[in-house]
Amino acid sequence: MRVLIFGAGALGCVVGGFLKRAGVEVSLVGREEMISAIQKEGLFISGIWGNHHIKGFESSTHIVEEWKDKFDLVVLAVKSYDTEEAMQSICPILREDTLVCSYQNGLGNVEKIAEYVGMSRTIPARVIFGSRVIKPGFVQVTVIAEPTALGRFEGGPEEGTVKEIVKLMDGAGIPTIYHENIKGLIWAKVAYNCALNPLSALLDVPYGKLLDTEETIQIMKEVITELYAVAMGKNIPMIVPTPEAYIDHLFNVLIPPTAQHYASMREDLKLGRRTEIDALNGAIWRLGEELGIECPTNRYLAYLVRAKEKLNLSV
């Protein structure tokens, strides 16, 4: 199988590196600093999955015309706000049967990809391992909560086709499973991110501290209650069936092991980068409006993060 990793950042490099190490033909597209370092010295991966040095990538900072009709699979690992631009770049070189896997956070990515290639060629993923760029050419796998899950939305690729990719990734050393309810898994991760990320970023505290005040506890409860109302309106098969059960799970099961963890959104704000708030709380607010469901807490959190982005960018 020939695979294109579009978005060779922390996650993309880990996926591309492990696939290449397993003998898959992998091409990378990423930013200049990262691609230049990989071309000169190769890719170094460290962390909880061991230390690896992988060379021999075909790589570029942009789509290469000679790649036309080459790839069986594209792993899209860009930020949610870059999905459309990425697909516009990729589509001219794709075959009519090339699959695209959304290896991303938030809501709306799968549907946006499907606008370009059709749902029958679009594979959703719930990614829940963490990685970071140490410096160009060096990435580190920091944590894994559960295996990456791949699946299919209605009208998606054949189950057997998705399971072949699951086998490929899992066999390469990236823990990966097939899940029948991938949409429910994605929404569960979005619930976690919506409740924790903006508060951690805006208040500059780790997740555990959000359980220390009545105010943050109430905000998290409201975020989840609104999200579940929207999910019910959209007939999403949630993994945890009720908002009350999810809130209990969040407070007593999910937050304690990650109590010292800060949201990556916090780093985005500190570095003056755009966040993915529009694919998280902003998406819940937008979908709620479409359904006639009020989501004031998600709306105001989205407002605050957007305001912080603009203030940081204007400095």
* Domain co-membership, 77 together with 116: yes
Give how far Cα 87 sits from Cα of 90, 241, 245, Å: 5, 34, 38
CATH code of 132's domain: 3.40.50.720
* Domain co-membership, 260 together with 138: no
178 vs 163: CA distance, rounded Å = 6
Identify the weakest region by mean pLDDT among 122-126, 228-232, 256-260, 311-315: 311-315
- CA distance between the termini of the chain: 46
Residue pointed to by tokens 């940081």: 312
Pick the last residue of a domain from 151, 180, 209. Answer: 180
pTM attached to this predicted model:
0.93
223 vs 229: CA distance, rounded Å = 10
pLDDT at 80: 95
pLDDT at 261: 87
Cβ-proximal residues to 91 (8 Å cutoff; 6+ apart), any chain? 116, 117
* Domain co-membership, 114 together with 26: yes
CATH code of 301's domain: 1.10.1040.10
pLDDT at 314: 58
* Domain co-membership, 114 together with 192: no
What would the two tokens of residue 41 be? Answer: 């010295």
User: For 181-201, how does the pLDDT look when each residue is reduced to its tens digit (9 = 90+)?
Assistant: 999 999 999 999 999 999 999
299 vs 278: CA distance, rounded Å = 10
Domain count, the chain: 2
Quote the mean pLDDT of the chain. 96
Which residues are known to be catalytic? Answer: 189
Q: Are 12 and 46 in contact (CB under 8 A)?
A: no
273 vs 286: CA distance, rounded Å = 22
User: For 23-74, how does the pLDDT look when each residue is reduced to its tens digit (9 = 90+)?
Assistant: 999 999 999 999 999 999 999 999 999 999 999 999 999 999 999 999 999 9
Query: What is the span of the domain harbouring residue 258?
Result: 183-314
User: For 74-107, how does the pLDDT look when each residue is reduced to its tens digit (9 = 90+)?
Assistant: 999 999 999 999 999 999 999 999 999 999 999 9
* Domain co-membership, 101 together with 232: no
pLDDT at 291: 97
